[in-house]
Every structure is written in structure tokens, then in C-alpha cells.
């Protein structure tokens, strides 16, 4: 029996699913007594440090937690569950942590995308039972803006490199805590979790050539989901956002099945977009929730859900906030939510006043679940102009002249699946959303979507240069070479594709084989 410390601030569903998939039962902590009587305690911290400590105090969990940890009983802290063990955090100055390990939690200070999102390796510093059966070259899923800095070197179990070397796991006796998410790290993560649960295992030290690690470029499979004319939820795919073929919605398969297939084929992440979210009442959109619930039971990589994340009032006059909608999806197993149309409204309002309202979907969800949980999906369309002065938007000179020979273009944001253009460009939009608290940009391109012509490198480079958060390149992948191109000619952090994966034209394995040795990826041997 595993006891799970869920203080109610985020997605703990995936940890429960991962442990249950290993044949164990999980019970949540509902009182301080549950902590003291736990056989093995797992603490998957989610959200922000200050909020977490406040809730732990409110629920009177601090004293029993300290007592449990002082007694050297089996404990696994994950992410914020690691950071909680330290004295202080730069995320919440003045708020004391549990103080189990002397040291502090610091914000990354690097000239790289923050949050540090994705699959990175471990430089292993001492033997542990959690490494049984692992080669030491596996990558694990990280998503954080802060990292721990222990005062005592003896606590360090593993380090990871991101701009500099930071501590990514600690161990003292039966107390183990990781910055990465084993529950989101595919088969390597499940193995590590299983090793934690099996307290009888001997400590092992994998043989490693060096401590150096590299963050992998992510390959993301995207499933655009909507109801077809028969009323079934299907994965569909458009050509430049038109998903109808001879009048009918294209049906490329069942969402849960396809997600499972991509997980097995090595996708680093899976994104579901409810492409008609602007029409429906999302809270009543149970099928999407069910898709997430079912998928997260078998798929142990990060899941993003987009479509319909916004404030709305339903037919009965009941109003919901975007935060409530997002909470519903996080509870169902989503790790991140993606905001499309609503983000355009929010950015426009922000640009008009120069201030956030504090109540927008981006701000509220980011505050509660952390910036890393908020993706902004941008649906831009290229607009050609004859000169940079022709419009009041950032304009770039393009290698691909327009129909009348125009050498300049800007990227107009659209809403409602490209149905409506707005007077805001993709670069300004991305920057505004970052300022408001978004943690990642999913950068689509209507002109390239479904064309197999390759990613729009000019768009991706322009947006990437404008923001400090990770950018996912999307739309247009037609062959494995396009992924190499986007990773070598732009600084994109991840690349997403749909059509070529759905139609089995280019399997994920082929993409990774093509990238192997040229770009750091997950799944190759060696640390990449
Ligand atoms: O506006 O918050 O409700 O979110 C709706 C979401 O649905 C947005 O993220 C928007 O991008 C998406 N969406 C809306 N309509 C469509 C459509 O296709 N008619 N799909 C749509 C967007 C684009 C990508 C696609 C890539 C890769 N799909 O997700 O998967 O372009 O495709 P490819 O590799 O086949 O080229 P809201």
C-alpha cells in the first residue's frame, strides 16, 4: 500500500496511474494520522512553493511529515516534493520549507528557455536501489524553473546539466527525492518507481562514462479531435485547417488508441486539441475528459489538452472560469493545458492597457498550476506586404516571395480554428503571453498545416528570438528531414506533427533514427 500526499493543488492523477500500473494500491492522505501510519509515502508536489507550504501548514501536515522523515521511513518526493525538503526557496522568499536538507531552492539563471522542460539525463553520484536495471543513460522528464542547491554534497544522488550542473535527485537513507517526474518518464520512469517501491533491492551504481547530460529535443504527436457527422469523437486532420474531405469530417482513428500507439512508438509528449472547443461547453464536454482519463492510465509521457479553455456561461446561466475548466482537465490526467482563441483576446486587452487583469485564463492558471502548465497555441497565417512600412506589425523579409512578388510578410493571429483573423501578429502575441505567465508556445502555421512542405522556419525563428520560454514548432512536417531542419536551422525546443504520424507515412522511430547522433533526442544510447 502506497500513501500519496495530495494537498489538492494539481495533477496527481498521473502518479497514481503510474503506481497502479505497477500493481500497487494507492491511498491518499486525508489526515495527519495517515502520514504517520504510512508504509511508503509519495509526495508529488505540484504548483508553487509558497502555496504548497501554506496548504501543508493549513492541513497540519508539517509536523507529521517531519516526524515521518526523521524516522527514515520510505519516502519519494517528486519535483516540488523535492524542493519542499529544503530550508528556503527563491520562489517564495520568507516562506520556510521543511528544512530536512540544509540548502535552498534557486531559480535557474541561464540564457536558455525557462522553464527547463523536457527529457534530460542523470549524472549519477552514488549507488541507490532506484537504479536497478537502468543503464544510467536513460532520459527523464523534467519541467521546472527552480532547482535545489543542497549545502551537503553527501545528499546528492544525481545531477543534470542545463546551462550549468544542478542537483536533480537527492537521497539520504530511505528518503529519495527527484526533480524529474518518474511517472511521466516512460518505461525508464516506471522502472525507477518500481525500484523505489521495492525496498528490498540492493543499491547499484550504473557505469557511466561522464556526468554530462543534454536536454533532448522533443518529438510531439498531436491529435486534433472533434465529433464527426455520426457524433463519434474522432482524430481528424485538416489541410490548412480544413478537416472535411468530400463534405465529411476526415476520420483518422480513435483518440485513446492512437495516443497509446504513439506512446509505444516513442513520442516524447502527446497533445490533444479539441478543435471545436470554441463551440461547445467544455465542462460538459465529458468525452474529452474521458479521453484524458483513459489515456493517462496507459500513457506515461506528458499530456497536453487544448480547445475550449476559457471563461464561459452555460445554457443554464451558470458561469465557469477558465481556471475551473483547466482544473477539470488536470484532474482527468492532463499535465498542461493549451489556450488558443482566448489567449488572443487576453493579449489584445493586455496590449491595449499595458497591464494584465490578474483574472485572465493565462494569469490564473499559471498562478495556481505554474507557468509550465500553460501552453499558448498560436494559429498564425502569413500575410504578404510590399514593404516593412506597409503595416504596423513586425515584418520579416522572406525567402519565399508572395504571389505578387512581395518580399515581406507578417504573421496574423487567428481565432476559432483560423476562421477569424485578428489585428495582432504572432511575435507580439507570444511575447505578451509570456509576460502574462505562459510557459510554452505551440506555434502552428495555417499555411503549412497538412501540406508536408516542412515547418515554417522563418516564423519559428522570429517567435523563438522574441521569447525566453520553449517554443514547439508545428505544422507542415512531411519527412524525417524536416525535423532535422527545424532543429538545426532554428532554436525550436520541440517539433510537433500530426498527419504523417496518423497516416503512418513517417513513424516516430524513423524521425528519431534520422536525428540520432545529430540532435540530442530521447531513446538513443549514450547521453546524446
Ligand atoms: O481556440 O482555445 O478553443 O483551441 C482550439 C485549438 O484547436 C487550437 O489549439 C487550434 O490550433 C486548434 N484547431 C482549431 N481548428 C483546427 C483545425 O485544424 N481546423 N487545429 C485546429 C490545429 C494544428 C496542429 C496540427 C499541426 C500539425 N491543428 O495542431 O496538428 O498543424 O499538422 P501536420 O503535421 O499534419 O501539418 P481554442
Residue-wise pLDDT for 351-394, tens only, equals 999 999 999 999 999 988 889 999 999 999 999 999 999 999 99
For residue 385, list its beta bridge partners: 408
Cell of 390: 506597409
Give the C-alpha separation, 289 to 287, whole Å.
5
CA dihedral 365, 366, 370, 376 (to 10 degrees): 100
pLDDT at 11 over 80: no
Between β-strands 164-172 and 244-245, what pairing exists: parallel, antiparallel or unpaired? Answer: unpaired
Q: Which residues pair with 336 in a beta bridge?
A: 304
Interval between CA 280 and ligand 1 midpoint (Å) = 16
CA of 466 to the centre of ligand 1 (A): 22
307 CB near ligand 1 (under 6 Å): yes
Helix (H, G, I), strand (E, B) or coil at 31: coil
Nearest-atom number in ligand 1 for the CA of 444 is 31
Label residue 485 exposed, middle or buried (CB < 10 Å: 0-12, 13-18, 19+). Answer: middle
According to DSSP, residue 5 is labeled -
The pLDDT score that the predictor gives to residue 230 is: 87
Model pLDDT, residue 10: 66
308 lines ligand 1 (CB under 6 A): yes
Q: Read off the pLDDT of each residue in 13-32 and give the average, rounded to a whole number.
A: 95
Smallest CA separation from ligand 1 atom 15, residue: 417
Average pLDDT rounded to a whole number, residues 342-357: 97
CB-ligand 1 contact for 414 (6 Å cutoff): no
Compute how many other C-beta atoms are within 10 angstroms of the C-beta atom of residue 277.
27
Here the cell at position 189 is 520512469
SS3 for 196? helix
Parallel, antiparallel or unpaired: strands 408-415 and 380-385:
antiparallel
Q: Picking from 38-52, 188-202, 381-395, which range would have the lowest pLDDT averaged per residue?
A: 38-52
pLDDT score of 526: 38
Q: Which of 280, 281, 417, when mutated, tests ligand 1's pocket best, judged by the most ligand atoms within 8 Å of its CB?
A: 417
Model confidence pLDDT, tens digit, residues 437-492: 999 999 999 999 999 999 999 999 999 999 999 999 999 999 999 999 999 999 99
Would the CB of 343 count as within 6 Å of ligand 1?
A: no
Residue 194: predicted pLDDT:
98
Q: Is 379 in the pocket of ligand 1 (CB under 6 A)?
A: yes
Q: How far is CA 80 from CA 177, 195, 414, in A?
A: 9, 21, 36
The pLDDT of residue 524 is 54
Q: CA angle, 437 as apex, 434 and 438 as ends, to 5°?
A: 60
Mean pLDDT of 22-40: 96
- Is residue 285 in contact with ligand 1, taking CB distance under 6 Å? no
Rg (CA), the chain: 23
For residue 117, list its beta bridge partners: 143
The alpha carbon of 258 and the centre of ligand 1 are apart by a number of angstroms equal to 17
CA of 224 to the centre of ligand 1 (A): 6
Summarize the confidence of residues 137-158 as an average pLDDT. Answer: 96
- The mean pLDDT value for 180-193 works out to 97
Q: Tabulate helix, strand, coil % of the chain (nearest 5).
A: 30, 25, 40
Compute the distance from residue 221 Cα to the ligand 1 centre, in Å: 12
Instruction: Tell me which of 10-24, 211-225, 282-296, 325-339 is least confident.
Output: 282-296
Nearest CA to ligand 1 atom 18: 241
Average pLDDT for 395-419: 96
Which atom of ligand 1 is nearest to 223's Cα? 30
Residue 474 CB less than 6 A away from ligand 1: yes
C-alpha–C-alpha distance, residues 106 and 286, integer Å: 40
Predicted local distance difference test score (pLDDT) of residue 316: 76
Q: If you measure from the C-alpha of residue 52 to the centroid of ligand 1, how many angstroms do you get, rounded to a whole number?
A: 34
* Cβ pair 402, 384 in contact under 8 A: yes
pLDDT at 285: 64
Pairing between β-strand 164-172 and β-strand 156-162 as defined by DSSP bridges: antiparallel
Helix 13-21, helix 322-332: angle, nearest 10: 10
pLDDT score recorded for residue 189: 97
Beta 233-236 vs 175-178: how paired, if at all? Answer: unpaired
Q: Residue 499 CA: which ligand 1 atom is closest?
A: 35
Nearest CA residue ID for atom 12, ligand 1: 275
Query: What pLDDT was estimated at residue 231?
Result: 84
- Whether residue 319 has pLDDT greater than 90: no
- CA 377 to ligand 1 centroid distance, Å: 8
Indicate whether residue 378 lines ligand 1 (CB < 6 A): no
- Paired sense of beta strands 233-236 and 218-227, if any: antiparallel
**Percentage of the chain exceeding pLDDT 90:** 88
Nearest CA to ligand 1 atom 27: 475
Q: For residue 274, which atom of ligand 1 is closest to its CA?
A: 7
In the numeric block, the cell 490533444 is attached to 272
Give the residue whose CA is nearest to atom 14 of ligand 1.
Answer: 417
Q: Hey, how many other C-beta atoms are within 10 angstroms of the C-beta on 307? A: 28
- The model's pTM: 0.95
**Going by CA atoms, what residue is nearest to atom 19 of ligand 1?**
241
Burial class (CB in 10 A: 0-12, 13-18, 19+), 115: buried
Sign of CA dihedral 159, 165, 168, 173: positive
Confidence of residue 280 (pLDDT cuts 50, 70, 90): low
In ligand 1, which atom is closest to the CA atom of 278? 3
Active site residues: 79, 181, 183, 224, 379
Ligand 1 pocket test, pick from 262, 379, 447 with the greatest ligand atom count within 8 Å of Cβ, gives 379
Average pLDDT value for residue range 234-251: 93
Q: What is the pLDDT of residue 159?
A: 98
**CA of 271, closest atom in ligand 1:** 29
CA-closest candidate to residue 329, choices 295, 372, 283, 374 = 283
Q: Is the CB of 271 under 6 A from ligand 1?
A: no
Q: Is 375 in the pocket of ligand 1 (CB under 6 A)?
A: no
Q: Is the CB of 128 under 6 A from ligand 1?
A: no
Q: What is the pLDDT of residue 6?
A: 87
Mean per-residue pLDDT, 292-298? 95
Mean pLDDT of the chain: 94
404 DSSP β-pair partners: none
- Which whole number is the average pLDDT over 251-262? 96
Amino acid at each position: 500500500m502506497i500513501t500519496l500526499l495530495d494537498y489538492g493543488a494539481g495533477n496527481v492523477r498521473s502518479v497514481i496511474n503510474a503506481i497502479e500500473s505497477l500493481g500497487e494500491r494507492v491511498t491518499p492522505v486525508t489526515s495527519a494520522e495517515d502520514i504517520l501510519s504510512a508504509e511508503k509515502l509519495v509526495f508529488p508536489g505540484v504548483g508553487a512553493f509558497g502555496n504548497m507550504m501554506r496548504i501543508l501548514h493549513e492541513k497540519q501536515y508539517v509536523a507529521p511529515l517531519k516526524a515521518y522523515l526523521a524516522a527514515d521511513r520510505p519516502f519519494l518526493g517528486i519535483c516540488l516534493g523535492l524542493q519542499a525538503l529544503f530550508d528556503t526557496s527563491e520562489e517564495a522568499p520568507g516562506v520556510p520549507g521543511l528544512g530536512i536538507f540544509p540548502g535552498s531552492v534557486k531559480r535557474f539563471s541561464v540564457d536558455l528557455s525557462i522553464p527547463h522542460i523536457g527529457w534530460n539525463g542523470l549524472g549519477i553520484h552514488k549507488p541507490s536501489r532506484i537504479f536497478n536495471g537502468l543503464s544510467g543513460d536513460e532520459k527523464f522528464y523534467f519541467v521546472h524553473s527552480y532547482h535545489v542547491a543542497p549545502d551537503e554534497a553527501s545528499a546528492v544522488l544525481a545531477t543534470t546539466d542545463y546551462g550549468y550542473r544542478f542537483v536533480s535527485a537527492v537521497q539520504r537513507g530511505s528518503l529519495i527525492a527527484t526533480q524529474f517526474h518518474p511517472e511521466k518518464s516512460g518505461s525508464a520512469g516506471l522502472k525507477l518507481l518500481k525500484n523505489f517501491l521495492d525496498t528490498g533491492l540492493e543499491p547499484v551504481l550504473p557505469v557511466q562514462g561522464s556526468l554530462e547530460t543534454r536536454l533532448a529535443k522533443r518529438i510531439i504527436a498531436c491529435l486534433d479531435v472533434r465529433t464527426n457527422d455520426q457524433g463519434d469523437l474522432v482524430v481528424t486532420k485538416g489541410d490548412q485547417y480544413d478537416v472535411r474531405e468530400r463534405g465529411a469530417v476526415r476520420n483518422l482513428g480513435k483518440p485513446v488508441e492512437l495516443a497509446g500507439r504513439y506512446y509505444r512508438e516513442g513520442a516524447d509528449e502527446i497533445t490533444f486539441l479539441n478543435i471545436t472547443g470554441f463551440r461547445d461547453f467544455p465542462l460538459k464536454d465529458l468525452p474529452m475528459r474521458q479521453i484524458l482519463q483513459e489515456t493517462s492510465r496507459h500513457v506515461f509521457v506528458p499530456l497536453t489538452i487544448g480547445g475550449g479553455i476559457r471563461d464561459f456561461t452555460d445554457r443554464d446561466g451558470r458561469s465557469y472560469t477558465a481556471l475551473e475548466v483547466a482544473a477539470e482537465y488536470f484532474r482527468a490526467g492532463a499535465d498542461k493545458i493549451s489556450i488558443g482563441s482566448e489567449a488572443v483576446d487576453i493579449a489584445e486587452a493586455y496590449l491595449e492597457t499595458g497591464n494584465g487583469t490578474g483574472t485572465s485564463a493565462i494569469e490564473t492558471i499559471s498562478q495556481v498550476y505554474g507557468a509550465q502548465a500553460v501552453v499558448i497555441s498560436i494559429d498564425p497565417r502569413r500575410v504578404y506586404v510590399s514593404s516593412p512600412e506597409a503595416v504596423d506589425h513586425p515584418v520579416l523579409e522572406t525567402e519565399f516571395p508572395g504571389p505578387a512578388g512581395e518580399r515581406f510578410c507578417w504573421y496574423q493571429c487567428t481565432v476559432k480554428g483560423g476562421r477569424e483573423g485578428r489585428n495582432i501578429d504572432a511575435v507580439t502575441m507570444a511575447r505578451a503571453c509570456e509576460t502574462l505567465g505562459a510557459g510554452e508556445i505551440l506555434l502552428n502555421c495555417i499555411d503549412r498545416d497538412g501540406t508536408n512542405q516542412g515547418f515554417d522556419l522563418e516564423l519559428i525563428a522570429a517567435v523563438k528570438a522574441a521569447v525566453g520560454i520553449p517554443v514547439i514548432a508545428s505544422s507542415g512536417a512531411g519527412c524525417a528531414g524536416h525535423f532535422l531542419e527545424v532543429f538545426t536551422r532554428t532554436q525550436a525546443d520541440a517539433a510537433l506533427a500530426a498527419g504523417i504520424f496518423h497516416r503512418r507515412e513517417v513513424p516516430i522511430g524513423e524521425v528519431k533514427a534520422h536525428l540520432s547522433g545529430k540532435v540530442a533526442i530521447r531513446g538513443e544510447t549514450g547521453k546524446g
